[in-house]
Amino acid sequence: MASPFPSFTTKQALEEGAVFTPRFDDDGLIVCITTDATSKDVLMVAYMNAESLRLTLQTGVAHYWSRSRQTLWRKGDTSGQVQNVVEMRTDCDQDAVLLSVSVEGDGGACHTGRPTCFYRRVKASADGAQLQFTTD
Amino acid sequence: MASPFPSFTTKQALEEGAVFTPRFDDDGLIVCITTDATSKDVLMVAYMNAESLRLTLQTGVAHYWSRSRQTLWRKGDTSGQVQNVVEMRTDCDQDAVLLSVSVEGDGGACHTGRPTCFYRRVKASADGAQLQFTTD
């Protein structure tokens, strides 16, 4: 399927233009960071293909592409943790998307049951690095 | 060069364990989201190879891998925008890193001179999507 988004023309247009020309990688994916609109916590990192990005824009509900299952994925369909998009942004070279969302259901985002996927701190140690569970 | 980090053993250890076993992609990279420790704004998204991740942990200063230049990159070496790591986290399946940083110099992160790389909102429109510049 052809991408519903235009391709970028120049570096100047990419960085300073007003046309959304998302740059998908060789697998047709763009990375998406999803944050909580109220707390600003980073909830998760996931990927979108052109279709999930289009659906997210069109419906106002976050859709992703599951790399492990190779399927389009409307977040919350099974968990109830539907993500309503408050704001979408892109970065300077348009190869990343940032969502600010309001989460339905229990407000969580992680499949482990935790509110955020980033529930462990990384601490340097003599023999590599250890993880510490967080509660905030 | 061999990775200084151990490989993961089981899904259980990956998600619930206390050992940092970062999962690099086929290019040897892991995605890193960098946020401002004070404002919690997402400043940028970049990539790390094992060496830049090791150096970040060891020195407490953010190091990345530049995919375009194919070089290790200590953020701020030319711009002065050195990122001192306040906290590092990883996500449930350890294929992403989240940095909370305090920025030296003018406090910015984007090569365009703006404080954050995410300076444009994406707004759906009849013929695709438009970008709106933000000031916050």
CATH 3.30.70.360 fits B11-133, yes or no: no
State the pTM of this model: 0.95
For domain A11-111, which CATH number applies: 2.40.50.140, 1.25.40.10, 3.30.1600.10, 3.10.20.810? 3.10.20.810
- Asked whether B20 and B90 are in contact (CB, 8 A), the reply is yes
Is the pLDDT confidence value at B1 over 60? no
Q: Who among A41, A57, A128 is closest to B20 (CB)? A: A128
> Are A92 and B98 a contacting pair at CB < 8 A?
no
Look at residue A2 in the predicted model and tell me its pLDDT: 65
Q: Provide ipTM, 2 decimals.
A: 0.95
Sheet bearing B120-125, strands edge to edge: A71-74, A63-66, A42-48, A30-36, A96-103, A83-90, B120-125, B128-133
3-state secondary structure of A121: strand
Look at residue B127 in the predicted model and tell me its pLDDT: 72
> Are A42 and B98 a contacting pair at CB < 8 A?
yes
